[in-house]
Each structure stands twice: as structure tokens, then as C-alpha cells.
Structure 1
Amino acid sequence: MLLALTPALAQQSQTGAMPPMTDAVAPATKTFSQQELDQLMAPIALYPDALLALGILMAATYPLEVVEAARWVKANPKVTGKALEDAMAKQSWDPSVKSLTSVPQVLAQMNDKLDWTQKLGDAFLAQQGDVMDTVQMLRAKADATGNLKTTEQQVVKTETQGSQTIYVVESPKPEVVYVPTYNPSVVYGTWWYPTPP
């Protein structure tokens, strides 16, 4: 599915790879196991970087605003483009939540799976580095099974940072975002835990 981005998300997407995350604000104790992180991230790890890091992950730290925005979008389905930008300028929501109003199906998914959204936000706040590492690990698994590649809707690149391969997923048109649809129980190959995502 292709959607136009709000200018804020489009501008952020032009910067390329997901921003580096640090554990400087993370508590010393881990909140989520690797299995939990894998299951939390599996449904969204193949999303474009701008949508994932600058939209979904940040917005998940504001679950109440996600609910409010989802209700607003549902009540105003025909508000798009400049009218949507103007309407969002009047809202006090976090910019990440506002940006997701241009991607209503993602906002609806986050609203419909509020427990998942809350956990995703908690994990991102407590373990940003682990969350981003999990995204990269899942992308590597999808790549190894032939399920992460450049298409008309997305460009997949790899970069080397130190000894690590970083997968970058972006739109060929910065003003448009493609939201991939995939089965997380299949796209990564055989699931490595007893309970699939």
C-alpha cells in the first residue's frame, strides 16, 4: 500500500537510515527478553526506516495519544493532504503520532492492538539499542530467506558499520511511504521460539 507522507515524516525519511539510538536513558535492568523483543518487532521490522523509527516506535511511547489520533482519523476519514497538515498543527500530540495520521492503517493497527503498542513503547524507552538490534537481526533473517529485497515500492540497502551489516529500508520516493504486508510467522523463515509472533 502506498501513502503520501506528511511533510514532517517525508523530511525525516530523506535522511536515510534509522537514527542511531543510545542506551544513555535506558534503565540498568532489562525489561524485555530477546524472545519478547523478537515477537514485538516481527510485525513491523520490515517497514521503511522513516515509518518505523520516526513514526511507530516513537508514537508507541504515547499510547493515549495513539488512541486519540486513531479516533480522530476514524471520525475524519476524508481529511487528507494540506487539510490534514493544518488539522494536525492544532493538535497537541507528539509529532510522531501526528505523522501517523497520514498512514491510517498503521495507526488503526496500533489502536486495535493497544497492549502490543504499550509493550512496544515500553521496550523502546527502556531498551532502544536492543530494539534496533532486533530490527536488524529480523531484517537479516528475512534477507536470508529471500524476503527482503528492493522492489518498486521500497529500496533495500546494506551498510557496514564496524563489523555489523545494517539494513536500510526506504522509499524510492521520499514523499510516499509503502507499508508492506507480510506474515511474520513466515517471512523470517522457521521461527526460532516455540510460540511464533
Structure 2
Amino acid sequence: MTRDDRPAHAALAAHDAVVAERATAARAADEALHVLVDRIRAIGESIVEAHARQDDAAAKKLNAERAKLDATRQDAVERAEGARRDLARVRSERASYVEAHLDGLLAEAAPDAEAAAGAIADAAGELIAATRHWHAMESSVLDLMRAAPNPDRARVPSLDAWDTIARDCRRALERGNAPCRRRCPPRRRP
């Protein structure tokens, strides 16, 4: 399907792109804040060391540098908080879009989901048929081996794990599991 065939998904992709962009910006703002705070702490340690060496000139210089960085700390805190709020806002807008357009999104996804389910059902059918064929061959081989005086059954491979998978596939096909079938109650519209 093309983008024109799935307008609800195209709009959702636009929301996802905005969320990804804002998440990157929020991470960058948080990282910048952490770098700044770490730098201020490191300068504080250097000031303590300068005082330990009784190097007042170095301590004074480091205090001036820390004061400059401290002046930018509040701005960095506010930028990081603003980026987190913006991210929360666009995530909320995306969630609102999904809620408002869920039926359309599911309808657009249904053909692909049904095709995928069909492919799985076909593959499951092939597995079931192959397992039945193997069991028929196993039966004929075991019949041949019974004629031998000391048959070595270890020479016949086991399909126990595949039998379980084939049985589960058969059950799933019998139940008719289908994707995109709404299992939740309909939403109440205000």
C-alpha cells in the first residue's frame, strides 16, 4: 500500500516523527544539564583542592569560573524541563490522534494484517501436511524395522517438538484467530 492508501497511518507517521524529534531534543537538554552540573561539581572539587594547597589565587579563579556556570544552571534546568514538557505534550497529542482515529488505523492495517494471517495459515497448513507425511514415512520405516531381529529405533529421528508446534497450529487454525479484530468494548463518544 502506498502512503495515499493509508492517510491515517501517514498522519500517525508524522506524529511519530515529531515525537522522535522532541525526544531527541529532550535527551540533549537533559544531557547538557548533566554535563553542566558535573562540570560545576568538578570545579567545586578543584576549589577544595586549591584551598588544601593554600593556593588562594587558583581558588579565586575557579570560584569565578563556577559562578559563571552557576549563572547558566537555572536556564539549563528550565530548558530541560521545557523540553520534557514539550515531549509529554506531543506524546499526548499522538495518543489523542490514535484514540480519535483508531477505527481508521485498524481499517487501513486490516488488509496487510489479513494477508499476514493468511500467509501464517498457509505456512501452518504446510507444516501440518509435512508432519503428517513424516508420520506416514515413520510408520512405514518402523514396519520395515520390525522385520529386523534387533531394530535400532534411534536411527529414526523424533519430531516431538514439531508435533507440538503442528498441534498448536492446528488449534489456532480451528479457532480462527484473526488480527485486528476488536476485542475491547466500543469507545463511548462524548
By relative contact order (CA 8 Å, sep 6+), the higher-ranking structure is: 1
Which structure has the highest strand share of the two? Answer: 1
TM-score bucket (shorter structure)? under 0.3
Which structure has the highest helix share of the two? Answer: 2
TM-score, normalised on structure 1? 0.18
